[in-house]
A and B are shown apart, each in its own frame.
Chain A
Amino acid sequence: MNASSLTSILIWLPIAGAILIWILPLSRYATGSLALLFSLAEVGFWIEQAARFDFTRSGLQMEERATWFGDLHVSYHVGVYGFSMWLVGLTVVAMAACTGYGFWVGRDRSRAYFGLMLLLTGATVGVFVAQDLLVFYAFFEAMLIPLYVLIGVWGGARRMEATIKFVIYTMAGSLLMLAAIIAYGLKSGTFDLVNGPTSASRWLFLGFMLAFVIKAPLFPFHGWLPDAYREAPPEVSAVLSGVIAKAGLYGMLRIAIAKFPDPTSFYRTAVLALAAAALVYGSLLAFRSTDFRGVVAYSSLAQSGLIALGLFAGTDLGFDGAVLQMVAHGLISTSLFLIAGAVERRTTTGEFRFLGGMARGRPALATLLMTLGVISLAVPGSASFAGEFLILAGVFQRAWWWSAIGAGAIVLAAMYMLRLISAVLHEARGSTVADEALDLRPGELALVVPLVAGLLFLSAWPAGISHHSFFGQSPAASVRSQFK
Chain B
Amino acid sequence: MTLHTTHVDWFGLGPVFVLIGASFVALLCAVLVPRAVRRLASATIAGAGFTAALVLAVWLYVDSANGHTIVSGAFYRDRWTALGQVILCAIGLATTLLGVEHIPGWGRSSDPGRRDDHIAEFFALLLASGAGMAFFVGAANLMVLFLSLEWFSIALYVMCAIDYDPFAASVGGKAADARPEDRDAFGVAGGSLEAGLKYLIVGSFGAGTLLFGSALVYGAAGTVSFDGIARAVASQGLTGDTFLVTGIALIVAGLGFKMSAAPFHMWTPDVYEGAPTTVTAWMSSATKVAALLLAFRLMTTAFPHDEHLWSWAFAIVATVSLAIGNFAALVQRNVKRILAYSSISHAGFMLIGLSAGSALGGRALMYYLVPYSAMAFGSFAIVAARERELGVPVTLENLAGFGWERPFLGVAMWFFMFGFAGLPLGGGFVGKFYVLAAAYRHGWVWLVIVGVLATLVSLYYYLGIVRAMYMRPSAELQVQPGGSVAVSGGAPAKEELLHVAVGAAFVVSLGSLFAVQPLIELARHAARAFPL
A151-174: CB near B (< 8 Å → 1, else 0) gives 011000001100110011001100
> Which of A29-37, A65-73, A312-320 has 4 or more CB atoms under 8 Å from chain B?
A65-73
| Contact of A178 with B by CB under 8 A | yes
- CB contact between B452 and one of A164, A167, A175 (< 8 Å): that residue: A175
> Which of A49-57, A139-147, A269-277, A392-400 has 4 or more CB atoms under 8 Å from chain B?
A139-147
> Which of B48-56, B317-325, B348-356, B441-449 has 4 or more CB atoms under 8 Å from chain A?
B441-449
- CB contact between B437 and one of A142, A160, A182 (< 8 Å): that residue: A182
- CB contact between A171 and one of B411, B445, B456, B466 (< 8 Å): that residue: B456
- Report the minimal beta-carbon distance from A101 to chain B, rounded to whole angstroms: 21
> Which of B2-10, B61-69, B423-431, B484-492 has 4 or more CB atoms under 8 Å from chain A?
B423-431
Contact A172 B456 (CB under 8 A): yes
| Contact of A279 with B by CB under 8 A | no
The CA-CA distance from A183 to B437 in the complex, in Å, is 8
A21-60: CB near B (< 8 Å → 1, else 0) gives 0100000000000000000000000000000000000000
Contact A175 B455 (CB under 8 A): yes
- Report the minimal beta-carbon distance from B465 to chain A, rounded to whole angstroms: 12
| Contact of B524 with A by CB under 8 A | yes
Chain B residues with Cβ below 8 Å from A153 are: 470-471
- Report the minimal beta-carbon distance from A152 to chain B, rounded to whole angstroms: 4
Chain A residues with Cβ below 8 Å from B441 are: 186
Given contacts A67-B517, A145-B418, A145-B423, contact A164 B470 (CB under 8 A): no
Contact A179 B520 (CB under 8 A): no
The CA-CA distance from A185 to B433 in the complex, in Å, is 11
- Chain A contact-residue range equals 35 or more
| Contact of A88 with B by CB under 8 A | no
Contact A71 B520 (CB under 8 A): yes
- Report the minimal beta-carbon distance from A330 to chain B, rounded to whole angstroms: 24
| Contact of A109 with B by CB under 8 A | yes
Contact A179 B423 (CB under 8 A): no
The CA-CA distance from A134 to B425 in the complex, in Å, is 14
| Contact of A149 with B by CB under 8 A | yes
| Contact of B327 with A by CB under 8 A | no
| Contact of A463 with B by CB under 8 A | no
A176-191: CB near B (< 8 Å → 1, else 0) gives 1011001101100000
Given contacts A70-B517, A71-B524, A186-B437, contact A176 B452 (CB under 8 A): yes
Chain B residues with Cβ below 8 Å from A141 are: 423-424, 429
| Contact of B459 with A by CB under 8 A | yes
The CA-CA distance from A141 to B524 in the complex, in Å, is 28
Contact A138 B429 (CB under 8 A): yes
The residue on B at minimum CB distance from A76 is: B514
Chain A residues with Cβ below 8 Å from B423 are: 141-142, 144-145
Contact A152 B524 (CB under 8 A): no
| Contact of A298 with B by CB under 8 A | no
Chain B residues with Cβ below 8 Å from A138 are: 424, 429
B339-374 contacts to A, CB under 8 A, are 360, 363
| Contact of B460 with A by CB under 8 A | yes
The total number of A-B Cβ pairs within 8 Å is 85
Contact B467 A160 (CB under 8 A): yes
Chain B residues with Cβ below 8 Å from A186 are: 437, 440-441
Contact B452 A152 (CB under 8 A): no
- CB contact between A167 and one of B433, B445, B463 (< 8 Å): that residue: B463
Chain B residues with Cβ below 8 Å from A109 are: 404
Given contacts A69-B430, A71-B524, contact A175 B463 (CB under 8 A): no
- Report the minimal beta-carbon distance from B514 to chain A, rounded to whole angstroms: 8
| Contact of A148 with B by CB under 8 A | yes
- Report the minimal beta-carbon distance from B266 to chain A, rounded to whole angstroms: 29
Chain A residues with Cβ below 8 Å from B470 are: 149, 152-153
- Report the minimal beta-carbon distance from A64 to chain B, rounded to whole angstroms: 15
Chain A residues with Cβ below 8 Å from B414 are: 149
Given contacts A153-B471, A163-B467, A164-B463, contact A68 B517 (CB under 8 A): yes
Contact A178 B436 (CB under 8 A): yes
Contact B433 A68 (CB under 8 A): no
A347-382: CB near B (< 8 Å → 1, else 0) gives 000000000000000000000000000000000000
Given contacts A70-B517, A171-B456, contact A179 B449 (CB under 8 A): yes
- Chain B contact-residue range equals 35 or more
B396-425 contacts to A, CB under 8 A, are 404, 411, 414, 418, 423-425
Contact B463 A148 (CB under 8 A): yes
Chain B residues with Cβ below 8 Å from A171 are: 455-456, 459
Contact A160 B471 (CB under 8 A): yes
| Contact of B31 with A by CB under 8 A | no
The residue on A at minimum CB distance from B459 is: A171
The CA-CA distance from A205 to B449 in the complex, in Å, is 16
The CA-CA distance from A28 to B441 in the complex, in Å, is 51
The CA-CA distance from A59 to B466 in the complex, in Å, is 42
Given contacts A22-B411, A145-B423, A178-B452, contact A69 B517 (CB under 8 A): yes
| Contact of B516 with A by CB under 8 A | yes
The CA-CA distance from A163 to B445 in the complex, in Å, is 30
Contact A183 B467 (CB under 8 A): no
The CA-CA distance from A200 to B433 in the complex, in Å, is 23
Chain B residues with Cβ below 8 Å from A72 are: 434, 437
B278-334 contacts to A, CB under 8 A, are none
- Report the minimal beta-carbon distance from B522 to chain A, rounded to whole angstroms: 12
A206-252 contacts to B, CB under 8 A, are none
Given contacts A134-B433, A145-B423, contact A168 B467 (CB under 8 A): no
- CB contact between B520 and one of A69, A145, A163, A183 (< 8 Å): that residue: A69
The CA-CA distance from A145 to B416 in the complex, in Å, is 12
Chain B residues with Cβ below 8 Å from A149 are: 414, 466, 470
- CB contact between B459 and one of A70, A134, A167, A182 (< 8 Å): that residue: A167
The CA-CA distance from A223 to B524 in the complex, in Å, is 45
Chain B residues with Cβ below 8 Å from A168 are: 456, 459-460
Chain B residues with Cβ below 8 Å from A167 are: 459, 463
Contact A142 B425 (CB under 8 A): yes
The CA-CA distance from A144 to B414 in the complex, in Å, is 13
- Report the minimal beta-carbon distance from A408 to chain B, rounded to whole angstroms: 38
Contact A179 B448 (CB under 8 A): yes
The CA-CA distance from A164 to B363 in the complex, in Å, is 34
Of B404, B424, B429, B470, most buried by chain A (CB within 10 Å of CB) is B424
Chain A residues with Cβ below 8 Å from B418 are: 145
- Report the minimal beta-carbon distance from A149 to chain B, rounded to whole angstroms: 6
Contact A182 B449 (CB under 8 A): no
- Report the minimal beta-carbon distance from B101 to chain A, rounded to whole angstroms: 25
The residue on A at minimum CB distance from B451 is: A179
Chain B residues with Cβ below 8 Å from A69 are: 430, 516-517, 520
B32-46 contacts to A, CB under 8 A, are none
Chosen A-B contacts, 5 in total, with CB atoms closer than 8 Å, are A69-B517, A178-B433, A182-B433, A182-B436, A185-B437
Q: Knowing that A137-B424, A142-B424 touch, tell me 15 more A-B residue pairs with CB under 8 angstroms.
A: A69-B430, A69-B520, A70-B520, A71-B520, A149-B470, A164-B460, A164-B463, A167-B463, A168-B459, A175-B452, A178-B433, A179-B449, A183-B445, A186-B437, A186-B441
Chain B interface residues (CB < 8 Å from chain A): 360, 363, 404, 411, 414, 418, 423-425, 429-430, 433-434, 436-437, 440-441, 445, 448-449, 452-453, 455-456, 459-460, 463, 466-467, 470-471, 516-517, 520, 524
Question: Which A-B residue pairs are the 7 nearest by beta carbons?
Answer: A138-B424, A69-B516, A152-B471, A175-B452, A69-B517, A179-B452, A179-B448
